[in-house]
């Protein structure tokens, strides 16, 4: 048997005519669901509620969250996604911890 070969992918972003208009969606909420066949991530942009939103939510017991993107993934992709997210979170937390040490007060606090 031959050894399996590793394949690396290069992520090629769309290059709009105006670089300031490059597409990047913002989401601050993610709902996760699944079927027997795939995992679905629904990304939403939940903004601060207006008085009208609060009144509507009091009546319906629901806050509307606009969907930014809905991504269906085969389950085989999920472990790699989880590992990549964990690695990025670790890098972020390490950077935050290093920054806290740099910004720590010098000398006595009293």
Beta strands in the chain (DSSP E): 29-34, 38-44, 67-74
Domain count, the chain: 1
pTM summary value: 0.67
pLDDT tens for each residue of 69-106: 999 999 999 999 999 999 999 999 999 998 887 777 77
Structure tokens at 1: 């048997």
Residue 32 lies in a domain: yes
Q: Which domain range does residue 46 map to?
A: 24-102
pLDDT tens for each residue of 9-21: 777 766 766 766 6
DSSP single-letter state for residue 3? P
Residue 17 lies in a domain: no
Element of type H or E holding 59: helix 51-60
d(CA 105, CA 110): 11
d(CA 45, CA 48): 10
């Amino acid at each position: 048997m031959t050894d399996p070969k590793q394949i690396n992918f290069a992520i090629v972003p769309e290059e709009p005519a105006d670089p300031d208009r490059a597409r990047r969606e913002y989401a601050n909420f993610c709902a996760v669901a699944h079927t027997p066949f795939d995992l679905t991530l629904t990304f939403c942009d939940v903004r601060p509620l207006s008085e009208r939103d609060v009144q509507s939510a009091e009546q319906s017991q629901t806050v509307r969250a606009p969907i930014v993107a809905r991504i269906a993934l085969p389950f085989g992709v999920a472990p790699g996604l989880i590992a990549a997210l964990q690695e990025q979170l670790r890098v972020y937390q390490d950077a935050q911890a290093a920054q806290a040490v740099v910004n720590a007060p010098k000398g006595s606090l009293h």
